[in-house]
Structure 1
C-alpha cells in the first residue's frame, strides 16, 4: 500500500521521504521532456553494405547540433582497415590467431567507446553519442561457439553488451535489399560484395541485434532522403523530442491479436525475454507512469516511462533507462489499483520488419491471462504491412482500448472508471 498523505503532498513520516522525492522527480520530468541536464544518449548505427550509414551519421549529427546537443561520433574499428593498413591477411592466420585478433579488436572497441561515453558524461550539454556499429556486430562474423567462448573468457554478459550498453540500435537496410539499382561498390576500397553477398551480410548483421529493447529497422520503402529522415525521426521519437514538421515521418505502433503462435521451428532467429510491468502512483490522473523489468538468464534492464497529458491531440512519452536501485525505489510507489503484468516477449525480424510477440503469463489478471499480442512500429498502413505467415492473426487491435496494457492491468476497471469520472472537475495538480 502507498501512503495517501504522500499523494496529497502533506507532511509525511521519515519512511515516506524517499517516495516523496521520487514523486517530485516524476512530476518534474513530466513538465518538459528533455529538460534533464547532461542527458547522454548512445545510439548505434549499423546495417548492411550501402545502407546509408555514413550519410546517416552526418545528417543525424547535423540535426542534433542544430537543436543544441553536443555530438560525439565513435569510429568503427573495421577488421578490414587493420588488414589493409597493417598487413594482416585472415587467410594466412590460424584459427587461434584469428580468434585472438578478433578478441583484441573487440577489447579495443570497448575501450574507445568507454572513452567517448565518459567524455559525454562530463559534458554540460545534452549529448548524443553515435557509434559506428556496436559490440554485437562482431558476433555476426564469429562462429557461435567462439563467440560464447569469447564472452566467457572476458566476462561479457549478453544482456549488458546488447541491451544495457546502448540506448538504441538503428539498422539501415542495405540498398541490395529493396533498392537494388542504387547498390554500388564504387569508391569503397573495402566493399566488394555482390547483391546476394550484401543481402546476406545485411541479414546476419540485423539478426545480431535482435532482442534489444529499442531496435529500429529503416528499410528502403521510400526514397533515400525520406529514409534518412525516418532514421532521424526514430531517434527523436525514442527521446521524446517533438520535431513538428521538420521531418516527415508517420511511423506508429500497430498491434494485432494473435489466436495461435504455431510451431517454434517456423520462427526466424529470435530472442525471448521475461518482462514485468508495474504502474506507479502519479500526481495527476491525466498522467501515466510505469516501470519495466526485462531480462534473460537473470540479467536485467530497467526502464521508467512517463506518459504526459495530451498536447495538441498527441500523447507524449518519455522513456529512460534506470538503475536497479532506482527501480526498487520506484517499485515501492506502485499503484495498488493495478496488478503487475508478466509476459514472455519474443523479438524477431521478418521481411525486414522488427516484431514483438507478447505472450501474457498465467500470473496476470484474468483479462489478459493467455493473451497473445503482436506489435511493430511501421509507416505502412492497412494491408500494406505484411504479417508473419506462421502466426494465426485474429484481428488488428491498434486503437482498441481494451487491449491497452494500462486497462488490462486494472484490478477493478469499473471502480477506476467511476473514480476517474468523479475527478474530471477536480484539481489534478498540473
Structure 2
C-alpha cells in the first residue's frame, strides 16, 4: 500500500496515493551550469519527474540558484558531511534536500537543517545507505544488515518527529537486492512517510537494470514505494529514467509512451526478426502516446498471442500481416513490414484514433493466412474450437443429467 503521508517536491506530489514519481541524478559537476542543465533537460524529456544534483562544494551550491530557476523539473540537492551546504542549497532555491544520517554530523546539525526547511516550507529526504550507516550501527550491520538499515531510518524518523517536522520522505538502500526488499518491507510497516526506493550502486546498464527490476519490481508489486531511482554506472542519466519507466509500465502503475511486445523467436521463424524488432523499437521512440505494438515471428500464432495490442505485425519468409487489436488489416511483403506498420499507425492518429480497414485487403490477408496455416499449431482460435466441440459432445451425452447412486450390498 502507498504511504499515508504525502509531501510535495516542487509541484510533484509524493506518497499518499500519488503516482509513483520517477527521478534520477545528474552525472555532471553541478558547478558546470550549462552541462548540468543540458542533462536535466534530457532526463526531463525522457520522463523524469524530478532530478537530484550533487552538492559537495560551495561552488555547486552557488550554481543551484541558476539551475533551479532554469530547470523544467524540481531540483533535489544531495548533501553529505557538510550540513552548511544543505542550508546554502535551500537558500539557492532547491525544492528538496537529501541528507544522510550516517554522515551529516549529529542531531544539532540536523536541527539546523530542519529549521531552515520549516522556514521555507520545503521537504527533506532522509537517505540511509548500507555503505554509510551511523557508527553505532556498524556492528549490527554485519550481524543483521536489514535490521541495521531499518534501525538507522527509524532513529532518524524519531529525531524528525522530536523536532516536530513531518515534511520528509525516507530511503533505505542496499547493493543487495534481498536486503533492499526485506528492509523496505519492514520499514513500510513501521512508518507512514513516503518511501524513495532503489537498489544502490546496482551496476552496469545491463546487470543494474536487471537487479533494479527484480528489487523495485517486487516492492512496487507489493504496493511499496512512492518514488524510484535506478542507479546505473552510466554517464547518460536518461538511461536510468527509461529503465524506471519500463518497470512502472510493466506493472501498469503508470503509462508513458509505447509498449513493445516481441516474441522470443523459435524454429518457426523465417525472417530477420532481430533487425525488425530493433527498428520498430527505434521508431517508436518518436511517439509519445502509450500505444502498444507487437512484433511476432509467426504468421499464424501472431494475432492470437498479442491480440490485445493496438497494432502489430506477424512475419513469415516472404510475406507478413499487419493487424490492430487482434483483427487483420492487410498483408504486405516482409521487407516492408516495418514501413507499412508505421504507415497504419500514422493513419490511426490522423483519423482521430480510428483503425481504418479496407475489406478487400482484410479478405486477402485472411486468405493468405489460411493458405499458409500450420495445421499442427495450437492457435487460440483452434483451442476455442476444440473447447466448443467438447462442450457440444458433453451436451449430447446419453447420461447427461442422470443421478447415480451406489447400490447397497
TM range, smaller chain = under 0.3
| TM-score calculated relative to the size of structure 1 | 0.26
Q: Which has the higher contact order (CA 8 A, sep 6+)?
A: 1
Question: By percentage of residues, which structure has more helix?
Answer: 2
Question: By percentage of residues, which structure has more strand?
Answer: 1
